[in-house]
Amino acid sequence: MAFKDIVVHQGEDSHADRRLAVGVDLAKRFDARLAAIYVLSYPTVPGFVQTELPSEILEQRYAEIRAAGQARGAAFDAAVAREGVAGEFRVMEGDVTDAVALCGRYSDLLVVAQPDPDYPAVTDSLAEELLLAAGRPILVVPYAGDLSHLGRRVMVAWNGTREATRAVHDAMPMLVQAEEVVVFSVNPEDSDHIAGADISAHLARHGVNATPRHIVAPDMRVGDSMLSAVADNSIDLLVMGGYGHSRLRELAFGGATRAIMQSMTCPVMMSH
């Protein structure tokens, strides 16, 4: 059980190197093929503006965009060659979400970025959009923090939903390799049953060292409870289902998916 095809999004943002490092590390760990997707983002220029601009200015900007893609491709080629990883750098045009989602449907995992509020980018919504569009799990890499122990201590956010079940099984290659897996539940409904016990037993039959834990904190937001547990348990990978409610409801009232995406302190693997 392993990841064999991994896709990593590459772009002009300031954290592309962090995602590339994670993608290369996972590809090497699982003997997987790594595909980097770079989408050329040409500026949208209204027709009346184009008539006023010298064609040389637009051509120069297009050349700069293509040069940036070539530079990122050279960095990718050097990284996979250095680590002995099979890889492909793919340059595409069009909508970023559509392009990455299309390639992601032929993969086991997509590696994307957490938005950095200090460096806004046009792809800041990419992780959320791919979660719903790609049909594959996404690994969201935080813009800050240590990534050297990714997957050693894993926490599974468990609430018994379809999304949580999907996330657990999508993450099985990581769970099997982890030193310890904490199955964490927030405000479980059945007080007479150990929350997470059944899924922990299921994981144990797959060779996963899983321990169920829970918290009862009705006055605390679920996302905040999970972030606190991540810190308390020295977790370096969080596994969770994304958008258990409708996206509109999450946007209107807030939810664990959005809270984690905004405030995550370790890589997060999400499935929908």
Both 110 and 214 in a single domain?
Answer: no
Structure confidence at residue 245 (pLDDT) = 59
pLDDT of residue 72: 95
Average pLDDT score over the chain? 89
Q: Of 98, 120, 141, which residue sits at a domain end? A: 141
Residues 73 and 115 in one domain: yes
| Residues in CB range of 68: below 8 A, 6 or more apart | 12
Q: Which residues contact 223 (CB under 8 A, 6 or more apart)?
A: 255, 256, 258, 259, 260, 263
CATH number (domain holding residue 73): 3.40.50.620
Q: Quote the pLDDT of residue 237.
A: 98
Looking only at the bridges linking them, the beta strands covering 268-271 and 138-141 are antiparallel
Which residue is it, tokens 């980097």?
36
Full domain range(s) for residue 219? 153-271
Residue 26 included in any domain: yes
- Asked if 76 and 196 sit in the same domain, the reply is no
Q: Using one digit for the tens of pLDDT, what is the confidence trace for 189-232?
A: 765 467 789 999 999 999 999 999 988 888 788 888 989 999 99
Same domain, yes or no: 170 and 127: no
Do 171 and 51 have their domain in common?
no
Condensed to tens digits (0 to 9), the pLDDT of residues 95-142 reads 999 999 999 999 999 999 999 999 888 888 899 999 989 999 999 999
Of 112, 141, 170, the residue at which a domain comes to its end is 141
Give the 3-state secondary structure of residue 140. strand
Q: Do 137 and 111 lie in a common domain? A: yes
Does 163 map to a domain?
yes
In a domain, 177, yes or no: yes
The total of structural domains in the chain comes to 2
The distance in angstroms from the start CA to the end CA of the chain is 21
Q: For residue range 168-195, what is the model confidence (pLDDT) as tens digits? A: 999 999 999 999 999 999 888 765 467 7
Same domain, 225 and 100: no
Identify the domain boundary among 141, 171, 189: 141
In this structure, are 66 and 122 located in the same domain? yes
For the chain, how many residues are written?
272
Q: Is residue 146 part of a domain?
A: no
Q: Are residues 130 and 181 in the same domain?
A: no
Q: Is 175 left (phi over 0), alpha (psi -120 to 50) or beta?
A: alpha
* Residue 107: burial class (beta carbons within 10 Å; 0-12, 13-18, 19+): buried
pTM: 0.90
Confidence of residue 256 (pLDDT cuts 50, 70, 90): confident
CA neighbor of 109 nearest in space, from 160, 151, 161, 152: 151
Nearest to 210 by CA among 260, 256, 174: 174
- Asked if residue 191 belongs to a domain, the reply is yes
Instruction: Give the helix/strand (H/E) hosting 112.
Output: strand 109-113
At 82, list the tokens: 């250095």
In a domain, 218, yes or no: yes
Q: Are residues 231 and 136 in the same domain?
A: no
Which residues are CB-neighbours of 184 under 8 A, at least 6 positions away?
Answer: 155, 156, 157, 158, 196, 213, 214, 215, 226, 229
